[in-house]
Amino acid sequence: MTTDKLTPDEDLLPLCEELMRSEITTIKDLPREFANTLANEYYRFLVLAVPHIKHPLAGRITLSMIKEYLLNETLEFGVVDAGTKSDPESELARALAGVEAIAQCIEVLRGIDKNKDPIQYRSTIELIIDHLKYDIRDAGGKLLIKRLFERAVKKSKKQVKEQIPDLIDYIDI
């Protein structure tokens, strides 16, 4: 996703909002950096998916509908291996996998009482950010200090996924 202007495509914002609402309801209860990371993942997915969709999406957008349409229309979709990393379908498949996992992660996160167990709540958020934003492999099997070091290395090497800063300010969910 290119974000040279660091502003979102106005045509994709309503779709992003609608998709996020259908999948995770709201992000207003989540910490800002985390909510923005989630919004960027959904937005990135739509940037990749919309060119493959030939009919308007507004008013009925769900992840399962988009997935079904993409599977029917894109023969190579879903093939992700070392030999196809540059293929658009592979990038789209990775983006789809990311947004499919988000709803499950949010369900787990919301099952944690952030007042009774703030450490588990914050640790879960950090773990999800490490997966989505920093693409840290096997983040769940690493101590936080190791993941923080990997974050720093990825930042210094500019290997962090590009994000639109403050994307959540454009999305009302």
Give residue-wise pLDDT tens across range 9-68. Answer: 998 999 999 999 999 999 999 999 999 999 999 999 999 998 887 777 766 678 888 888
Q: Is residue 3 part of a domain?
A: no
Separation of alpha carbons 75 and 155, rounded Å? 35
Question: What average pLDDT does this structure show over 120-129?
Answer: 95
Count of other CB atoms within 10 angstroms of residue 42:
27
Tell me if 4 is assigned to some domain: no
**Per-residue pLDDT averaged across 113-138, rounded?**
95
Residue 1 lies in a domain: no
Secondary structure (3-state) at 1: coil
Confidence of residue 84 (pLDDT cuts 50, 70, 90): very low
pLDDT reading at 92 higher than 80:
yes
What are the counts of helices (DSSP H) followed by strands (DSSP E) for the chain? Answer: 6, 0
> What is the predicted pLDDT for the residue at 88?
56
Q: Is position 120 within any domain?
A: yes
pLDDT-derived band at 2, boundaries 50, 70, 90: very low
- The domain of 90 spans 13-170
Please tell me the predicted confidence (pLDDT) of residue 80.
44
Provide the number of structural domains found in the chain: 1
Q: Where are the alpha helices (DSSP H) in 25-87?
A: 32-49, 63-73
Instruction: Between 11 and 73, name the one with better pLDDT.
Output: 11
In a domain, 8, yes or no: no
Question: What average pLDDT score do residues 107-111 get?
Answer: 96
Cα–Cα distance measured from residue 141 to residue 85, given in angstroms and rounded to the nearest whole number: 25
Q: At what angle do helices 63-73 and 88-110 cross, to 10 degrees?
A: 160
Does a structural domain hold residue 30? yes
